[in-house]
Structures are given as structure tokens and as C-alpha cells.
Amino acid sequence: MIFLALLIFTIGTTYAQTPDAVYDQYLDFNLARFQNESSKALLIGESLLPNVAKLPAKSQVLYYNGLAKLYEDSSQPDKAITYYELVVAAQPDYYVPHRALGYLYNEKAKEIYKQIQAGKGDAVAYKAAVMKALPHLEKAQACDPSDETLTLIKFLYNSIKDTAGLTSLPARLAVLGKNCVTVLSE
């Protein structure tokens, strides 16, 4: 009996690790997301992490993007940033995670700015946070122009007193606007 139980457990564990089983779990993750079952999707997504390498490359990117969005929506910006960065590394012309990263990094810059206002912040750290946000905001602006994003970009350049960056912004946006990817697909 013990041998039979171990055999069944081993077979079950082995099956759970197959690429087909991992892909099925990925489909469950997507279904939960599309049905607005965020908590369930997050649980499935986190359990999928150790086996994500068994997914096709394009599915991995879509998975990371979906997981990042779930983390962003559940107020876990550091985890969201981690996975959005993976998406950007794999698909640098896909502007959607750039927009998310730009705004997430801007939130970090705002927190540092509040500390500066309270006499506890560091101007160097603020500038570093702004400089992390700007490239992402610029890519998003180049691919999907928005008055809100453009205003934020200009504000950030002015806040760090970077007139050269502000002056060269239109030329950078023109270059960044080429090869924009608006939708990822498998």
C-alpha cells in the first residue's frame, strides 16, 4: 500500500511539472484574471512562478505582464515593478508596461519629494527616482500621446532642473515613437 501511495504521489508530482500542466495552469491564471477574480489569479500566478520557464517565451511575457498588473492593482508596487521590468526587457517596444513603470517610479519619486519637504529627504535620491521614471514615461508618451503624461514629463524635468532634457524631448519622442507595440499576442 505504501509503495502504491508513493507511486501515485510521484506520478502526480511528475505530471504537475510537465509543460502541458504548466500551460494549463497558465490558462487558469488568465481565466481568473479575465473573470475579475484577482485574488484567485494572484494565487495561481504565484504558484506558477517556479515553473514559468516551461511556458513558451511569448506566454512568459504575457504571464509576467498579467502578474505585474495584478500586483499593481493590489497595491504591491515593488513586485509589480519587478515583473514589468521583465516584460520591458523582453519586449522593449511594448509601451504599456513602460507607462506602468513610469507612473510607479513617479510614485516613488513623490514619496522622496514629500520627505524632502519635511526636511528628511535626499535630493540625489529624488533625482535618481525621477531619472528611472522618465525613460518609461517618454516611451509611453511617444507611443500613446497623453496630455497628462506629457505634463508629468515636463514637470519632472523642471523639478530636477534639467533644461537640456526638456529641450531635447521632442526629438527623443520622435525616435521613441517608432516601432511601438500596442498589443502582445501569443
pTM: 0.87
Which residue type, as a one-letter code, is found at position 179? N
Per-residue cell: 118:
519635511
What pLDDT does residue 16 have? 53
Is the four-CA dihedral 15, 38, 34, 46 of positive or negative sign? negative
Domain definitions of the chain by residue range: 1-89, 92-186
CA separation for the pair 97, 34 (Å, rounded): 18
Per-residue cell: 128:
535618481
Bridge-partner residues for 163, per DSSP? Answer: none
From first CA to last CA, the distance across the chain in angstroms is 45
Task: Quickly name the fold that domain 1-89 has.
Answer: 1.25.40
What pLDDT does residue 186 have? 77
What pLDDT does residue 14 have? 45
Cβ within 8 Å of residue 59, ≥6 positions away? 23, 26, 186
Per-residue cell: 183:
498589443
Under DSSP, is residue 179 helix (H, G, I), strand (E, B) or coil?
A: coil
CB count in 10 Å sphere of residue 40: 15
Per-residue pLDDT of the chain (186 residues; tens, 9 = 90+): 565 444 454 555 444 569 899 999 999 999 999 999 999 999 999 999 999 999 999 999 999 999 999 999 999 999 999 999 999 999 999 999 999 999 999 999 999 999 999 999 899 999 999 999 999 999 999 999 999 999 999 999 999 999 999 999 999 999 999 999 999 887
What pLDDT does residue 121 have? 82
